Amino acid sequence: MKPCTLSSLLILCAIAGGPFGLARAGDTNAPTSTVTLENPDVTTNAIPVTTNAVLGVKPKATDGLTGTTLLGAFGGCSGGKFSVSGRILRLPTPAPPTYAISDWRRNLDFGVNQSRGNTETLRYSLGLHAVKDREQDLFRIHGRAAYGESDGTRDTENASAGLRYERMMTKRVYALMNLDWVTDTIADLDYRATGILSPGLHLIRSETTVFNLEAGAGYVQEKKNEDVEGYAAGRAASTIEHILNERVLAWFSAEYLPKLEDPGIFFVNSEAGIASALTRDLSLNVYYQRRYDSNPAEGKKSTDSVLATALSLTF
């Protein structure tokens, strides 16, 4: 049975704005990942960009949940195995957080998906993320791991880690350095390490909508089926975020990384999802991820996808 369409999922999430969930592995090599949301700081697997605080946007003093107070909505960062990561917007907190405020914002996300009957599946995911946001620059660190079985056979085993640094150049332009590492046993990807230098541009940065573009180049080294290859690669990426109401955020992000010497070799990572704040320290994400590798390991499919949910705890 095919999963529901992404558009229907987003509509249902927006109406609910509360706890619900659906998790289903994709129809290929079945990697599993978890997207996280924290309140007041949300972390997900979308393309990292600088925060509105870094941009110097100063909210006006108002009462209640107005468009201006939503300027601080859904903030934070994350990094997934797709290197499509980061949330700009942050929901307003209904009460002071229970955790101590520091220079670093942290969150822990955990997902468990299980089914029984004609098919028995069990999948786990765990992620830890931290971000340090200063006046002119931003640091992001992330780590994530996932494991799963279907009918007693392992079908998910992957992990990722990353470091990202952003530096504001003007109110709309920023420079970034991004380092990522990922491994996926099911896809026979021993590892893929990526280093990228790139400028970024905020095309839209309103109180409820963010639209960013990034374009740059770097180096990719990967090991598949015991074969090691390294090459120069380009990168083009974009992300769109929109606050639907004071509790719900929707987003879409994508990135394209071609081999410069042979553009026929490339990989594309994309994600769409919706995040709902449950309490000031707990939140829920529902998301769909898709990864395409034009040159997969021998005997493996080019496309991996996942539809899943995850809870995130701010501490």
Token duo for residue 88: 């700009």
Q: Mind listing the pLDDT tens digit for each residue in 202-231?
A: 898 788 998 999 999 999 999 988 889 999
Start-to-end CA span in the chain (Å): 38
Specify whether the CB–CB gap between 107 and 129 falls below 8 A: yes
Residue 20: pLDDT band (50, 70, 90) is: very low
> Residue 18 pLDDT > 60, yes or no?
no
> Residue 66 pLDDT > 90, yes or no?
no
Of 219, 211, 170, 186, whose CA–CA distance to 46 is shortest? 211
Give the single-character DSSP code of 69: G
The per-residue DSSP string of 277-307 comes to E-SSSEEEEEEEEEEEESSPPTT--SEEEEE
Residue 263 has what pLDDT?
93
What fold is seen in the domain 6-314?
A: Porin (2.40.160)
Report the C-alpha gap between 41 and 293 in whole angstroms. 32
Q: Mind listing the pLDDT tens digit for each residue in 68-91?
A: 333 333 443 333 333 344 555 655
Q: Residue 216 phi/psi, 5° resolution?
A: -165, -160
Q: Is the pTM of this model over 0.75?
A: no
Q: What is the helix (H) or strand (E) element at residue 266, kind and residue range?
A: strand 266-277
Specify whether the CB–CB gap between 35 and 13 falls below 8 A: no
